[in-house]
Structure 1
């Protein structure tokens, strides 16, 4: 009995010894790591960037509160730009405990996205936050998974595929039919989102959602998908911008995810059915890919028949196929309605076609239309910012020291957040009139990494030519149908942020 009592008395002592040893070990490791990092930073000539003066430097609650306030006022992007003007083009901060280096330096963006691509990955919080809705696909994975998804997508965006404009013609005509001819006010933004969903589902999945046409489709209604998709991406984007995960989502978000997945699952089932029919040699099943056109879904099903994996890939590419082009078109037409000088110059190019549909080459040769789209994407980028997380200690070339010209040491686990919106407004890149909408600047402008509407490096957007071609074709055909335009929107451009950016007030216009 005495032995048991004495033994029991030793247990707390042993526990405290073990705890003390562990704490001592962690302190020793931290000191050793700090010394090694200090030495590495000195070897590369690194200096610390300015720090955002948060009243809570540990958890960054000041920045969180500022982000919430900006979101409520729809000035999130503008407020970020003002911070750069105040604290410099690169500064450090903290967001809910995560160390961040924020930058709008082209050389830093180039380093993160290209030069030191292997040193960075998607931020773990972003991947976790997107997983409920998007699963694992080209926008939510790294490494070999991402490489495989990208390889599957690449054949969809060859010149041969994109240059086939017949599909665009069909969906643009359906859009034109829904526009009043008597000058009544119409919000083109709603129509553009419907058109791009219809074209993306046909182009990528072999069957259009027929959102605009009203024709019978076996797919769930595209408008329900659109509403649910917009809500869910808005919910994800809002929480991601303040450093919060999407777990414990509200009831509307949970239902929205179900609606979106129901829409995607329809195409998954159709794709699997086509594949199984071909494998068994049965007749009577239409296959879009048999026409000679590469259909992403049909090729994907050859790789896997896992419905969840297929849905994830479809959800990822729908984000790019629908939202980016529709947002570009919405801002473009909102701007055209308020800039009659720009409208007239594009009309002059369009009139050279004498009313016929343009070819792919003729679209490419319409320089002023291209300059105008470049300017829209400069001032109102569809993806206004992004981030990458360091997977090892590394260095970016700008932002350190009082002059901001020294390299900056980036410890493993630090996120580098870059603002395309702010970078596109830098007067040292675009001139003193950087805030002015001026397509003519693109006659001589070559900004390099200072212009990044479609990302850059190995993860550059595969669909950028598809998006520009669809937006150009739709604009040309609309301008051939309607000769005059008036704005019915008194507001200046105002951001509407989800995981992409569009116009809060749409594109309300009158066309005749």
Structure 2
């Protein structure tokens, strides 16, 4: 008797490869479809906006741009990054250049309309991108190192702390100025005033933030050449080193992961532990004050920046991040501005003479806030220093969506330029401030008088612009104005003792003279 026929079935070993082939085929189709759709969308965007490509390419290595990376590292070592960048624009006779950083396309521009677009009119098209990786270990996610909602919250948190009553504490400035004055030698002996300025500004910045100064001016070396050291001076040194380390991380990019960095990590640890102590105190004091108010024992409070932050948030890391960001700006911006200006003024006796004539109206006494704001020639000197040697000489933004720059495309650079998502846009404030079509044929010269009639727009960007314009600019200008005014009142002249007379960049997160500012103060 024949056995019944067995039902046939498809072998799993044969069906699985077919399924895999089908999935792979559909995946390839999906990739082709998305690529084609992206190409067509971008093509339409370019046509609708009359975009033209940027014809000026900086890198010769077409794949990774390693030639430019090597050049930039060499230029940094020789303190010539800013000078070389400016000369690149001259060489191309263009205000917009393209390059690349590894696999990332890069556009570098000094067109004010482009900068305005990036920082203001199309602000939401850009973020900081990978900058957070370089800055984050020291600065966390504070106002200078965050995007989007976090940045908006930081700005809302900090803005009330920069009203006039806080930035105009001239009595505090006078107290620290008098300490600095003791370290200026008599009879015109050479002194590196840049070192004094950086010590002064970390002393004033820490008192502004913590109601406790590092007092680094008091701890300077005595006759034996030894510097007294405590936790405050240790912090000040670590803070300086940590900033330099941030710049190194930023320049190396992804290559930084291969660098042994024991010193940088230790400097950051010291900075965080120091600030954490003041954060804990501020939160504790804030809680005590709140409890006193609830119990009907409220009392008038002295303004302390960090305690005001603790009034708005009890998140200790958040407070530390914001304080680290403000300390960076408050210390370095003012010190670099003063250093750069005194380097230039020391070479020009006629400028010191004009400043002396302007402050004579004060009769030798310390100025009030209103009187300080009324010193026009002093303001011109500050403006000119910020123009010729800006404290923040360049910056960048990362395109988070396809967007358009108004200029930079085509042979003449006057056509719109398409910016694909993932492009880094760098803008050189240092080079833009040297454009002769904006600042005259003598744009490379330090001439404060140009500000008598000059009313610049986006071509002058000393404190950034748009929604992210620097909150602390008035603090920096007030302190720099006050210190300059007091020194001009006390000394009849200022002489340059620079060996070369040529300003070279000292580029960290801000920019000052890389060789210090050696001068002699002449008593009058």
TM-score range for the pair, normalised by the shorter chain length: over 0.9
The alignment status of 1:127 with 2:137, answered yes or no, reads: no
The alignment status of 1:213 with 2:224, answered yes or no, reads: no
TM-score normalised per structure 2: 0.90
The corresponding residue for 1:252 is 263
Residue-by-residue CA offset, 1:403-461 (whole Å, 9 max, x unaligned): 11011111122121111000000011111111111111111111211000100011101
Query: Superposed, which structure 2 residues align to 1:72-151 within 5 Å?
Result: 72-87=77-92, 88-122=94-128, 124-151=129-156
The alignment status of 1:261 with 2:266, answered yes or no, reads: no
2: distance between equivalents of 1:363 and 1:462?
Answer: 20
Within the candidate set 497, 502, 507, 2:507 is matched to 497
Residue-by-residue CA offset, 1:29-63 (whole Å, 9 max, x unaligned): 12210111011111011111124242322322122
Contact 1:488 1:508 in 2 (8 A): yes
The alignment status of 1:401 with 2:406, answered yes or no, reads: no
2: distance between equivalents of 1:210 and 1:230?
Answer: 15
Deviates more, 1:245-254 or 1:201-210: 245-254
TM-score normalised per structure 1: 0.92
The corresponding residue for 2:357 is 348
Q: Compared with structure 1, are the counterparts of its residues 390 and 205 closer, same or farther at alpha carbon in structure 2 (3 Å cutoff)? A: same
Q: Compared with structure 1, are the counterparts of its residues 346 and 43 closer, same or farther at alpha carbon in structure 2 (3 Å cutoff)? A: same
- Count of residues in Structure 1 that have an aligned counterpart in Structure 2: 500
Contact 2:214 2:236 in 1 (8 A): no
SS at match of 2:145: coil
SS at match of 1:449: coil
Query: Superposed, which structure 2 residues align to 1:319-330 within 5 Å?
Result: 319-330=328-339
The alignment status of 1:32 with 2:41, answered yes or no, reads: no
Which residues of structure 2 form unaligned runs of 5+? 1-7, 221-228
Within the candidate set 228, 250, 273, 2:284 is matched to 273
The alignment status of 1:239 with 2:249, answered yes or no, reads: yes
Shift of 1:279: 3.4
SS at match of 1:484: strand
Shift of 1:225: 2.5
SS at match of 2:458: helix
SS at match of 1:99: strand
Residue-by-residue CA offset, 1:311-345 (whole Å, 9 max, x unaligned): 11111111101000000111112222211111111
Within the candidate set 490, 500, 516, 1:506 is matched to 516
Query: Superposed, which structure 2 residues align to 1:97-496 within 5 Å?
Result: 97-122=103-128, 124-214=129-219, 221-244=231-254, 246-247=256-257, 250-281=261-292, 290-291=301-302, 293=303, 295-491=304-500, 492-496=502-506
Shift of 1:81: 0.9
SS at match of 1:368: helix
2: distance between equivalents of 1:17 and 1:53?
Answer: 45
Shift of 1:481: 2.1
Contact 1:194 1:222 in 2 (8 A): no
The corresponding residue for 1:45 is 50
Shift of 1:490: 1.5
Which residues of structure 1 form unaligned runs of 5+? none
SS at match of 2:60: coil
Deviates more, 1:476-485 or 1:318-327: 476-485
SS at match of 1:446: coil
1: distance between equivalents of 2:328 and 2:379?
Answer: 23
SS at match of 2:130: helix
The corresponding residue for 1:69 is 74
Shift of 1:133: 0.7
2: distance between equivalents of 1:463 and 1:393?
Answer: 32
2: distance between equivalents of 1:184 and 1:135?
Answer: 43
RMSD of aligned residue pairs (Cα, Å): 2.4
Shift of 1:166: 1.1
2: distance between equivalents of 1:53 and 1:396?
Answer: 19
SS at match of 2:506: strand
